[in-house]
């Protein structure tokens, strides 16, 4: 039976338990407070015979009883470390997460923007179990003052004002809520959860025979790397308090200014949304036509950009943007693609007559024939018939040689207006009339598809068009007997 100061506290199954627990208690107090503590109570024991089963006192219960009976007011507490440096201790394990949540809530309300999803206190925050002097314990309000003094505040309202776009829909509530029994350890790149209780005994870390003998060990003192020398948190880490040998406090700390005095700072991490109207770029699509020459490109659809509403998820640490991720896309206006018809036909050699004749215009749609071959038009032709075909076309349209050959005629007449005639092999001629301008001269060797003139409305003409004739030995022929290709029939 073990007694402390004459009071029986329980049975022990091993007498060495007493010295082990006293050693643990002494070492823990020294590691937590820097105080060299000697248990000053009177421990006594007697050996008894006990009938049947006896409930022995555990090491943990004995540890607590000896702590309660120490002459100096020590208490079990929870130590707060920021960036590896001791800040304060509190008796209630829920005080620290409660204070952090209060600070985050107040900052969210201060910013007051619907774009904000969350505000989190950002820093390496660790909470461990420890032993502390009773008069060094901080209240929840004191902890609030200490942490608030460490926070570097920024004009987030101004930053939000510079973000373009507005949120189109109401943000959903935060999906994760902190458990009051846990403390989140937040860094810029990660979020981890510190253990609810980290009980660290000094005998496991320092001042042990194993370490004194130089054995390699890697341990943690309240979340900080252990070293071979004892770390006195009350002095080396800048807490403004000095203890006398008896453990009395000589100078009290000022809770509101403690964080800044230690040079420790915290920042908020802001998670918010930004909606931006952005152009949806249109594409250029080429469609190829084997009947058109390879230097021919015709735009049949100009194309236009559309409009997207893009929502981004932003993360700021203080006033620095550290992440910008696309959350969603919404098409407000679809883009219209630009469509170009591109020819693939190669030009033949100049002056050479090919077996096939081609249309004298770039045609991607079936041409409008306003007057057909052999059509009777007494008001224009009298007793004669129409010698060619009239193709409706705008003034200034490029006119191409239907086949390769030599220019034999460039002149202007009363009826035909400006006219060009090209001689081809086999006694065939092609005639191009009512032009606004001829671009070739007599004697020029022309290749098939070459631009020879611009369409017009000269001579006897009621509207801009191209009069096209095919002659064999000077006699008019039906042009459709020579124009076998139908480029407008090509599917795009």
More confident residue, 108 or 399: 399
- Angle 59-68/16-33 helices, nearest 10 degrees? 60
* Per-residue pLDDT at 175 exceeds 70: no
pLDDT digits (tens, 9 = 90+) for 211-228: 222 333 222 222 333 333
The Cα 31–Cα 203 span in angstroms is: 9
Whether 194 shows a pLDDT value over 50: the answer reads no
Question: Model-level pTM greater than 0.95?
Answer: no
Give per-residue pLDDT as tens, 408-431. Answer: 999 999 999 999 999 999 999 999
Q: What is the reported pLDDT for 172?
A: 36
Crossing angle of the two packed helices 140-150 and 95-111, in degrees rounded to 10: 50
∠ CA(241), CA(247), CA(251), 5° rounding?
A: 25
Q: Give the range among 113-127, 154-168, 303-317, 337-351 with minimum mean pLDDT.
A: 154-168
What are 123's two structure tokens?
């820093």
Which residue ranges form the domains of the chain, and what is each CATH number? 2-72 (no CATH), 77-269 (no CATH), 272-342 (2.20.230.10), 348-489 (2.70.70.10)
Bridge partners of 15, per DSSP, are: none
User: 316 with 182: CB under 8 angstroms?
Assistant: no
Confidence category of residue 123, pLDDT binned at 50, 70, 90: confident
Question: Strand pairing of 74-82 and 220-221?
Answer: unpaired
Q: What is the pLDDT of residue 33?
A: 67
Higher-pLDDT residue of 474 and 187 is 474
193 - beta bridge partners?
A: 184
Give bridge partners of residue 418 from the DSSP assignment. Answer: 412, 435
Torsion of CA 254, 258, 262, 263, to 10 degrees: -130
> How far is the C-alpha of 386 from the C-alpha of 371, rounded, in Å?
8
Report strand pairing: 284-293 vs 338-345: parallel
pLDDT tens-digit series, residues 146-174: 999 888 877 766 666 665 444 333 333 33
Q: Please give the average per-residue pLDDT across 328-354, as a whole number.
A: 90
DSSP 54-66: --BPPHHHHHHHH
Higher per-residue pLDDT: 459 or 18: 459
């Amino acid at each position: 039976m073990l007694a402390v100061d004459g009071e029986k506290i329980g049975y022990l199954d091993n007498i060495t338990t007493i010295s082990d627990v006293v050693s643990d208690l002494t070492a823990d107090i020294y590691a937590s407070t820097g105080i060299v503590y000697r248990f000053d109570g009177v421990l006594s024991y007697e050996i008894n015979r006990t009938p049947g089963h006896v409930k022995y006192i555990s090491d943990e219960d004995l540890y607590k009883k000896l702590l309660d009976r120490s002459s100096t007011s020590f208490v079990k507490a929870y130590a707060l470390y920021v960036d590896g440096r001791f800040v304060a201790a509190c008796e209630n394990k829920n005080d620290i997460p409660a204070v952090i949540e209060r600070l985050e809530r107040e900052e969210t309300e201060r910013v007051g923007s619907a774009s904000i999803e969350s505000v989190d206190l950002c820093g390496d925050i660790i909470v461990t179990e420890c032993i502390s002097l009773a008069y060094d314990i901080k209240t929840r309000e004191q902890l609030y003052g200490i942490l608030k003094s460490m926070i570097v505040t920024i004009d987030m309202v101004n930053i939000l004002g510079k973000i373009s776009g507005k949120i189109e829909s109401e943000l959903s509530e935060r999906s994760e809520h902190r458990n009051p029994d846990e403390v989140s350890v937040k860094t810029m790149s990660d979020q981890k959860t510190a253990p609810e209780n980290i009980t660290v005994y000094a005998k496991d870390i320092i001042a042990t025979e194993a370490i004194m003998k130089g054995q390699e060990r890697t341990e943690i003192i309240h979340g900080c790397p252990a070293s071979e020398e004892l770390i006195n948190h009350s002095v080396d880490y800048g807490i403004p308090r000095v203890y006398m040998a008896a453990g009395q406090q000589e100078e009290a700390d000022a809770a509101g200014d403690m964080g800044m005095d230690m040079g420790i700072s915290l920042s908020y991490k802001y998670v918010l949304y930004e909606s931006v109207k952005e152009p949806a770029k249109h594409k250029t699509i080429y469609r190829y036509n084997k009947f058109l020459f390879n230097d021919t490109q015709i735009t049949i659809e100009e194309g236009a950009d559309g409009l997207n509403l893009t929502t981004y998820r932003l993360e700021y640490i203080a006033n620095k943007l550290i992440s910008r991720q696309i959350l969603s896309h919404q098409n407000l206006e679809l883009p219209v693609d630009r469509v170009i018809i591109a020819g693939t036909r190669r030009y033949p050699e100049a002056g050479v007559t090919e077996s096939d004749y081609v249309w004298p215009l770039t045609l991607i749609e079936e041409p409008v024939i306003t007057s057909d071959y052999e059509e009777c038009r007494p008001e224009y032709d009298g007793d004669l018939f129409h010698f060619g075909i009239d193709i409706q076309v705008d003034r200034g349209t490029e006119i191409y040689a239907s086949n390769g050959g030599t220019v034999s005629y460039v002149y202007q007449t009363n009826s035909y207006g400006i006219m060009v005639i090209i001689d081809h092999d086999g006694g065939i001629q092609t005639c191009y009339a009512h032009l606004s301008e001829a671009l070739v001269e007599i004697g020029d060797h022309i290749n098939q598809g070459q631009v020879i003139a611009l369409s017009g409305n000269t001579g006897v003409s009621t509207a801009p068009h191209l009069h096209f004739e095919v002659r064999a030995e000077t006699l008019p022929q039906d042009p459709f007997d020579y124009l076998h290709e139908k480029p407008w029939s090509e599917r795009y």
